[in-house]
Amino acid sequence: MELMGDTNSDKVSHILIKSKYMPKTYPYLLDTLPYAHDALEPIIDRETMEYHHDKHHQTYVDNLNKAMEANPHLQTSVLEELMDSDIPAVKNNAGGVWNHDFFWNAMIGQGSEMSATMKAEIDKNFESVEEFQNIFEATAIGRFGSGWAWLVQNSDGGLEVMSTANQDNPLSLGFKPLLALDVWEHSYYLKYKNKRADYAKAWWGLVNWEMVESLMG
C-alpha cells in the first residue's frame, strides 16, 4: 500500500520525537505504567489494568523478543519499522508493544482539560468537540472484533478518525497517531462486560489532551 507522503525513515522519526519512550530496539522491555494501577479508577479498574498491562502487554513484549531471536537480521530495527514486517509474529507483536505504550501515555488519572488551541483544531476538522466524540465513539463501537480507534493527523495536517484491526497501526498507512482507544475485549470486559459503548463514552474522562496536542504539528 502506498504511503501518504512519508518514507519509512520519516515514519520512525516524525511521530514520537517528543516522547520519552520511543524509539525502542531489541531486546524489548515492558515499560512501567506512568501511574499506579488504580489511578484510572473508576473508569478503568485496577484489576483490568493489572491484567491488561502486566499480563497482556507483557506477552506482546515476550513474544516480540522471541520473534527477534528467530530473526536476528531484524534486531537492529526500531519498533516502528518492525510494525511493517512481512513476518506475522514480528508485525503483530511489534504493533502490540507500540500500541500499548502509546495507549497508557494517552491517559491520565482524572483526565485533562482540552486547551483552546486543541479545541479550535477539533472544531475546524469535525465542526465541534461533541461531533468529534460522536464519530470517535461510533468508530470504536463499530470495529468488528478486536482493534483500535484512533485520532490521527494526515499528511496535510488535517485531523481524522480511523480504526485499525488487531494490532495494526496508522503509521503503516502514513498517518500520525495522536490518540488511541483500545477496544480489544480484555481492555474493558471485567468492568463493562459486553457494553463497549459505555466504555468508549466513559473513557473521555481519562484522555491526556496535553499529550495529544504535543504530538500535533
Q: Model confidence over 171-213: pLDDT tens digits? A: 999 999 999 999 999 999 999 999 999 999 999 999 999 999 9
Q: Where are the domains of the chain?
A: 116-215
The SS3 assignment for 40 reads coil
Whether omega before 88 lies within 30 degrees of 0, making that bond cis, reads no
Q: How far apart are CA 58 and CA 52, in angstroms?
A: 9
Q: In percent, how much of the chain has pLDDT > 90? A: 87
**Residues 187 and 45 sit within 8 Å (Cβ to Cβ):** no
Strands (E), 79-137: none
Provide the 10 A C-beta neighbour count for residue 117: 10
Q: How far apart are CA 98 and CA 25, in angstroms?
A: 11
pLDDT surpasses 80 at 62: yes
pLDDT (mean) for 97-118: 96
The three cell numbers locating residue 35: 501511574
The three cell numbers locating residue 179: 490518540
The three cell numbers locating residue 92: 503483530
For residue 134, what pLDDT is reported?
98
| pTM score, whole prediction | 0.91
Residue 162: closest CA among 148, 172, 182, 174: 148
CATH, range 116-215: 3.55.40.20
Q: How far apart are CA 52 and CA 188, in angstroms?
A: 9
**Residues 186 and 194 sit within 8 Å (Cβ to Cβ):** no
pLDDT (mean) for 1-26: 48
* CB neighbour list of residue 97: distance below 8 Å, 6 or more residues apart: 24, 28, 57, 60, 61, 64, 79
